[in-house]
Homo-oligomer: A and B are copies of this chain.
Amino acid sequence: MSSELLHPDRLFPADPVIRHVAREIYEDIRELPIISPHGHIEARWFAENQPFENPSALFISPDHYVFRMLYSQGTSMESLGVPPASLEVSIEHDPREVWRRFASQYRRLFRGTPSRLWIDHALSEVFGIQQPLTADNADEIYDQINISLHSPEFLPRNLFEQFNIEVLATTESAIDELKHHRTLNNSDWDGRIITTWRPDSVTNPQHPAFVHDMRWLGEITRKDTHDWREYIAALRIRRQIFSDMGATATDHGFPTPFTTVLQPDFCQELLTKALTGKISSEEAELFRGHMLTEMAQMSVEDGLVMQLHTGSHRDHNALVFSRFGLDKGCDIPTGVNFVEGLKPLLNQVGNSPDLTLIVFTLDESTYSRELAPLAGHYPALKLGPPWWFHDSPEGMLRYRQQITETAGFYNTVGFNDDTRAFLSIPARHDVARRMDSRFLATLVCEHRLTLEEAHETAHDLTYRLPKAAYKL
C-alpha cells in the first residue's frame, strides 16, 4: 500500500544510480518478517486483545517524542492529556481536543523529524489516510481512525499479524509476575511475544522503587535480600523464571557504563547501606558497577543475552518530573566513557564466547572512538543499533559511517525499535531497512562492495543478525 503521504522512494538518495541500487536492495528485504528484540510494548494488549482506546491515546499522550516537541514550542503537557503523576495536575480529558491541538501543529513542528516519518507511515499504511493531517481535517481523520480502531481487524493481535512480526520482546521489571505473558503462553494464539528481564529497580540503589522492590524480590523468591548471597540467589531465581517464560535477554538501564569488581564483604556493606537509604552517590555507582559485572557473569552461565543502555540523564526537568513522573521527555543524553567504564567487565567476561553483551549509546562521539574499536576486538561485545534520538535517518547514516570501517557489519545486531508506540513498529523497521539499503547501495556504487554482497548483508542486518544475536 502506498499513498500521497509516502513516496515509494522516500529516504533514498536523489542520485539516480545509487537510488536505483538502493531500491533493488530494499525490494529484496522489505517483506521480511519483523524481528523486534527490544522494546516497550505492553504484553497486556495482546493478552486481552481489546480495541485501542482512541487516536490520541494511541498517538499522542504516550509518545514522548510527540509531546516533548509540542511542549518545547509552548503547548502544555496538560492540554495534551499526558497522564499526570500528581493528583494536583488536571489535564485535558477530551481526546478529540488533544488531537486537534496536535493536528494544528503537526506538519510544521515535526518537519525533518523521524516522528513525522513514523506517524505519516502509520496514518497511511495502517489507516489508509491519504491526506496530510492538518487543523482542517483533524476531526475527519480522528473519526476515521476511531472507527477503524473499533473494527476487528484493528485488534492488537490482528495488527501484530498484519505487521508481519515474527517475534516481539517486551520489557518487564525483574519482579513482574508476567501475568500477561503467562496468558499469552497459555492461549491458542501463536503470535510470539516474549519478555525481557530488566532488574534496574533491584540493582540500582538510586532507583525510586529500590527499597520496595527489594522487599518484594525477597518475598517472591523466599530469599533474604538483606544478605548479599541470598540477594544474588534471588536474582538467579528470577532470571530462570523469565528464561522459562521465553525470555532470551536481560536489559540494564544505568546512568553510566561504569563497571567494577568488588569483594563480597564490600558488596554486603553497600547492600546494607542501600537498603537503609544511607548509600552515597559514589557508593551507589560502585554498587551498580559491580552489579553489571555480576549480571554479565550470570549471562555467561545462563545464556541470557545482556543489553546495556547508558548515558541518559533522566528527568532533567524537575517541574515536569514532579507533575508527570518518569519517562516524560526530559531525559537528556550525556557524555560517557566506555573505554574505562566497561574495562573491568570486559576483562572479566569479554573474551567469553558464551556471552553476548549488546551496548547502546546516546553519545555519538563514542561510535568511532570507543565502541567500534571495542566491538571490533572483544568476542562478547556487540553494538546495538542507533538508539532513541539517533533512531532516525541521519542518525542511522552516521552510525554506519562511523562504525562499519572498524567494527564491520557483523559486530552489529540489526535494528531495535525500542518503542512504546505499537503502530510505529512497521514504520521504524521500514526506515531502518531503507537506510541500510541506502548505505549498502552507496558502497556498491563506489565499488567497495559487490551487489551480491550488499543483498546478503541487507538480509543479515534485517533478519539473520537480530535472530542470532538475541538467540531468537
Contact = CB atoms under 8 A, between A and B. Distances in A.
A408 interface: yes
Nearest to A9: B447
Interface string A69-92: 101111000000000000000000
Interface size range on A against B = 35 or more
Interface stretch (A176-184, A211-219, A229-237, A393-401): A393-401
Given A113-B405, A339-B333, A339-B334, A410 B73 contact: yes
A404 B112 contact: yes
B112 A409 contact: yes
A318 interface: yes
B319 A347 contact: yes
A444 to B, nearest CB: 9
A37 interface: no
Interface of A: 7, 9-18, 68-69, 71-74, 107-114, 116-117, 313, 316-320, 329-335, 337, 339-340, 343, 346-347, 350-351, 353, 362-365, 368-370, 372-379, 381, 389-390, 392-395, 401-402, 404-411, 442-443, 445-449, 453, 457
A362 B14 CA distance: 31
Copies, count = 3
Contacts of A14: 15, 17-18, 442, 445-446
Nearest to A395: B405
B448 A410 contact: no
A398 to B, nearest CB: 8
A351 B392 CA distance: 27
Given A11-B446, A350-B317, A69 B408 contact: yes
Given A347-B317, A377-B317, A405 B332 contact: no
B364 A368 contact: yes
Nearest to A406: B389
Given A13-B446, A333-B370, A111 B405 contact: no
B74 A379 contact: yes
Contacts of A319: 347, 351
21 contacts: A11-B448, A14-B15, A14-B445, A68-B376, A72-B378, A72-B411, A316-B346, A317-B346, A317-B377, A330-B377, A332-B377, A334-B370, A362-B369, A363-B365, A368-B390, A368-B395, A389-B405, A389-B406, A392-B405, A393-B405, A395-B405
B335 A369 contact: yes
A389 B334 CA distance: 24
A57 B397 CA distance: 36
Contacts of A316: 339, 343, 346, 374, 377
Given A337-B335, A346-B317, A347-B317, A389 B368 contact: yes
Contact of A369 (B333, B381, B393): B333
A395 to B, nearest CB: 7
A74 B69 CA distance: 44
A443 B401 contact: no
